[in-house]
Structure 1
Amino acid sequence: MASDNGSPFETPKGQIEILPPEERDRPIGDGFEYSSGFGRVKIVRLGPLSSLAVFAAICLAMALGLVFIGGALLFILPIAGLLAAGAALYGLFGNQFKRLR
């Protein structure tokens, strides 16, 4: 597949088409917008109050997660206590019906 000049690479057969950027409805300073076939993603710079609001929302979500996980653990705690008490009583009294050797 080498050409006449000894190069192992082929030269392109067609011309390269350079597409102009798409027209925007908003000014460029409004943020960066990425669009594909599935939807649009807009990236903007956050100000101090917006950053504080995002931080507070993340902290609230983490606190609610800890409350729900703590509630689930408090629900499991009595069940684990009953199982531990049952195992302790079984170990203390043993099985009365096992065969003597």
Structure 2
Amino acid sequence: MHDLTGSRPASNWLHPEAVQDARQACIDFLAQRADIAQTQAALRQSEQTIVALEESGLRALLFEAENQLEEIRFTVPDKQQPAAAAAVIRRVLDGLCQPGNTRR
């Protein structure tokens, strides 16, 4: 079971609102309250908000995840998309919860 609360508070980041928005988008997807496109858009928005050099790894994590979700939407059969996207989303949550370890 994945810890949806995260071990690193959003306030520890230089862009806490963007981190919290990304985290909430991931949680909403895993709880089936958002679809892949909505989650992808939320991650893109958070990624574009993060401009600090110190958080380039976080930005890269979100950028990579957004691109992977795009690929899933257009290349994976519809029935397999939720599971494929969930794996990407869990990696994002793991990255948001582990300080200094956002590159995968």
Indicate whether the TM-score tops 0.5: no
Give 1 or 2: higher strand fraction: 1
Q: Say which one has the larger Rg.
A: 1
TM-score under structure 2 length normalisation: 0.26
TM (normalized to structure 1)?
0.26
